[in-house]
């Protein structure tokens, strides 16, 4: 089982990361990241719009793990799109994290002045402030609107991805760019029935593994970077056990058959851009 992948720019990324979405910056994010690092995670995913970058950075610094051994991803929010604004947004992320550089920096939502923001990310990569750059929540339609005009191919597209939402059309669009899928909600947010699905349960029982381990092993085997989130230490460690799962060709075929061709979030839906832009202010008191 792969424990890391090499991105299209030559940077190595751990195949599993610890997601921090919705973990509040009231000490909870700090504790969760410290526990994840203690459990063996070496990839932490955050964002300006998660409002917990400071605690993530503090946890990484306090862990005693050398900085170069921890892969840190963060994301630029809509209010900082455009070339100049994105430079300021990147500087703010770097200040909050306090980790010197960012391993992977993403455009979080694909609306507004995406080309200008992408230019700023290319500048940052050239200047050594970030190691890799990518996008997030791009559908095939959005991908084809923006990415063919980029000078640099995104290293990842972080999207909803799990056996119920396998992004096959998107993966085909991305293939020529060497861009890798990075999965948010790899366990379908632990709801929606995925971990109770009879197919998943049957494979897990036969393998002597948990449903979550089976799902994560399948996704990594499909070439995706996975970002499960949990504040439960036992669950964090359980998720890392995906590396010991061996799926047969029949198991993989059965899991592929679960694809519903859609997820819980539709970035192409009318009004999504306006809703997200007005959802909160990343400049307000971080």
- Active centre residues (catalytic): 50
Task: Please identify which residue in the block is written with the tokens 């960012």.
Answer: 102
Which has the closest alpha carbon to 160: 180, 138, 185, 187? 185
Coil/strand/helix, residue 91? helix
Quote the distance between the C-alpha of residue 257 and its chain's center. 24
Q: In angstroms, rounded to a whole number, what is the distance separating the alpha carbons of residues 63 and 236? A: 17
Q: In angstroms, rounded to a whole number, what is the distance separating the alpha carbons of residues 230 and 236? A: 6
Distances from the Cα of 271 to the Cα of 111, 141, 277, angstroms: 11, 16, 10
Tell me the torsion sign for CA atoms 259, 264, 267, 269.
positive
- Strand stretches in 16-173, DSSP E: 18-19, 43-45, 71-76, 102-107, 130-136, 156-160
179, exposed or middle or buried, with CB in 10 Å at 0-12, 13-18, 19+?
A: buried
The CA-based angle 26-31-33, given to 5 degrees, is 110
């Amino acid at each position: 089982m792969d424990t890391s992948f090499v991105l299209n720019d030559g940077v190595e990324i751990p195949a599993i990361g610890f997601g921090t979405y919705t973990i509040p910056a009231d000490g909870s994010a700090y504790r969760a990241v410290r526990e994840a690092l203690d459990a063996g995670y070496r990839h932490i995913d955050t964002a300006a719009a998660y409002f917990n970058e400071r605690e993530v950075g503090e946890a990484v610094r306090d862990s005693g793990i050398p900085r170069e051994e921890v892969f840190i991803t963060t994301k630029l929010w809509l209010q900082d799109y455009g070339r100049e604004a994105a430079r300021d947004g990147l500087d703010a992320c770097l200040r909050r994290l306090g980790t010197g550089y960012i391993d992977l920096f993403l455009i979080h939502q694909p609306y507004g002045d995406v080309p200008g923001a992408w230019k700023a990310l290319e500048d940052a990569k050239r200047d050594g402030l970030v190691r890799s750059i990518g996008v997030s929540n791009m559908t095939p339609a959005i991908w084809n609107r923006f990415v063919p005009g980029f000078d640099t191919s995104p290293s990842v597209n972080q999207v909803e991805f799990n056996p119920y939402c396998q992004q096959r059309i998107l993966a085909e669009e991305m293939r020529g760019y060497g861009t890798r899928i990075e999965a948010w909600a790899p366990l379908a947010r632990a709801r929606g029935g995925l971990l109770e699905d009879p197919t998943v349960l049957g494979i897990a029982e036969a393998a002597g593994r948990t449903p979550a381990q089976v799902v994560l092993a399948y996704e990594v085997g499909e070439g995706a970077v996975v970002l499960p989130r949990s504040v439960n230490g036992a669950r964090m460690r359980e998720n890392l056990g995906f590396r010991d799962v061996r799926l047969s060709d029949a198991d993989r075929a059965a899991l592929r058959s679960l694809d519903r061709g859609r997820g819980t979030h539709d970035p192409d839906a009318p009004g999504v851009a306006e809703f997200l832009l007005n959802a909160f202010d990343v400049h307000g008191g971080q």
